[in-house]
Amino acid sequence: MNKVQTHSLFTDFDIDLFKAGKHFRLYEKLGAHIIEVNGVKGVYFAVWAPSAKTVSVVGDFNHWRQGEHELQVRWDSSGIWEGFIPGIEKGTLYKYRIESNNGGLMTEKADPFAFYCEKPPHTASVIWDLDYKWKDTNWMETRKEHNDLDKPYSVYEVHLGSWKRQGEENRFLTYLEFAEDLVKYVKETGFTHVEFMPVMEYPYDPSWGYQLIGYFAPTSRFGEPQDFMVLVDKLHQAGIGVILDWVPSHFPDDAHGLGFFDGSNLFEHPDRRKGYHPDWKSLVFNYGRNEVRSFLISNALFWLQHYHVDGLRVDAVASMLYLDYSREEGEWEPNIYGGRENLDTISFLKDFNEAVYSNFEGVQTIAEESTSFPMVSRPTFNGGLGFGMKWMMGWMHDTLEYFQKETVYRKYHQNDLTFSMTYTYTENFMLPLSHDEVVYGKKSIAGRMPGDEWQKFANLRLLYGYMFTHPGTKLLFMGSEFGQSSEWNFESSLDWHLLQYPFHNGVKLLITKLNELYKTEPALHEKQFSPEGFEWINYSDHENAVMSFIRKGNNPKDDLIVVLNFTQVIRENYRIGLPKKGKLTEVFNSDAIEFGGSGVQNTNKLLIETSPYDGKEYSTALLLPPLSVVVFKVA
């Protein structure tokens, strides 16, 4: 095997950007790249390891022997080691063997920029390329029309390892099998987007992917990188957007990973009060180090560029924002102003969002942020963090708390539902019923509903109807769309056999109809982040546990009237106030027989009378089905 040759892909400008924390395409320089030098094919290697004494590339090509292929450190104090090794081909296994200046410590590390990794529990990186001929040109040219904030955005959250398994061996599906089965299913149920829980390489299945090792590599559990490209491509061809969970909040301390990479705290913060996460027993990035910022933002842009991803949902933002997150008094240090906010994180997140939105049109970033930190989804030029959307955790908590109550007690707790409208427009909120709500003894969403079997499913249909008519975008975890009875188990398939039962199949059909309603009725999405898109009719009928409101689009003729009955009592001649004359036509009813309901409905058009009610000039009397949401249009 040929020796290492001197070669570099870096310019002086690259190094300046890297040191300044402004190089957002590092994946084009660092890592392992199949190239040709002077007519000879091989691989150029580059790794950041400023505290290293020596760095060798070891692999199956040199029998993993130290010292045979040593890289050279650059002269410019960047800490980058590099070199070209002729003859190495795609598919070769490799690592970096790093001897540290700090006491001569010797470690073997996977490549932080590897495009492909060995299938866990094996830990080597794999020489790979990103060659692929995309067929989603139409989607990419028009995706802004699908992803804008005034468009329907209904997300199906998927854990690839447990959506569906095959055979007695309980094996994973492959990316290529997902490209057939999952694409067909999402298209059938009408979701506009899929959100994948982390697909970047991770060593430990029980982490669900949230403890990443290979930030630039789709996990090899389900196939090769190009196979994942096929999956994204097929979703796009079906008109479905793709969101990836992205985890810049922490990383595991596995020996082959980023931790103590070159014998120093390279990626993690050196102060354990800022560099260690007590909840997850993991390491926290040093957001104040420019090279780390370049690494993370480059990673975000990598998935948008090379995998055509349409959005990034950023995990655990609250844990990043607060210095005292999950820490007791004395376990954290205030910032320079005496506050608890992590100023380095705030600066990093602003840079991240600015880089994403300035480089890619028609994409969204979404923050999983559970506190009242202000202006998360407001532009950075207005002082915000710059995210496109933020998860509405308060809505999720209050809504599930309300729905778990027996109906006889709900009249005492209606404020749990109405409270969300006091702050709905402070952010661009996404309403999440995510994987976190169906684990650790919380029960499935269906399992939380009170009453007998009929009431449980009626409550579930009502919950989803409320979710889809409430302002904001939507996210639903897999299995919830057909009323999975048991909690989510990451080690086994969803309970697909339940679809043979009418109640479960009815819930799936309901979700399909709700997605159709959300997409086809402008009033449900055109002003979903504007107070102009919502008007209460009556939120104070606690005694009957009924709420009513108007959803509005750009054109008044598109207005929808939404009435929700949170008890099993049928309300006859239930009067609501309305702002204009005309006739009401029922366009959606969660109590329809096809969904598993009792079939109580308003079959005829309802005349709106000149009879003041609910503080409005006109009114009409409705028939309200039990435990239902009914949607009307004014004709």
Domain boundary assignment for the chain: 12-126, 152-524, 531-634
What pLDDT, in 10s, does the model give residues 367-420? Answer: 999 999 999 999 999 999 999 999 999 999 999 999 999 999 999 999 999 999
Omega cis (within 30) before 121:
yes
Which residues are designated catalytic?
Answer: 315, 368
pLDDT of 342: 96
pLDDT of 1: 56
Pairwise CA distance, residues 212 & 210, whole Å = 6
Residue with tokens 């913060």: 269
**Architecture in CATH for domain 531-634:** Sandwich (2.60)
Q: Given this chain, do its domains 12-126 and 531-634 carry the same CATH topology?
A: yes
pLDDT of 103: 77
Angle, vertex CA 397, rays to CA 391 and CA 399, nearest 5? 105
From the options 3.40.50.1820, 3.40.190.10, 2.60.40.10, 2.60.120.890, give the CATH code of 12-126: 2.60.40.10
pLDDT of 4: 92
Q: Work out the burial of residue 534: count CB atoms within 10 Å of its CB; fewer than 13 is exposed, 13-18 middle, 19 or more buried.
A: buried
pLDDT of 66: 86
Those residues with Cβ within 8 angstroms of residue 27's Cβ, 6 or more apart along the chain or in another chain: 113, 216, 298, 299, 302, 306
Query: Which segments in the chain show pLDDT lower than 70?
Result: 1
**Architecture in CATH for domain 152-524:** Alpha-Beta Barrel (3.20)
Pairwise CA distance, residues 427 & 350, whole Å = 16
Q: pTM for the full model?
A: 0.96
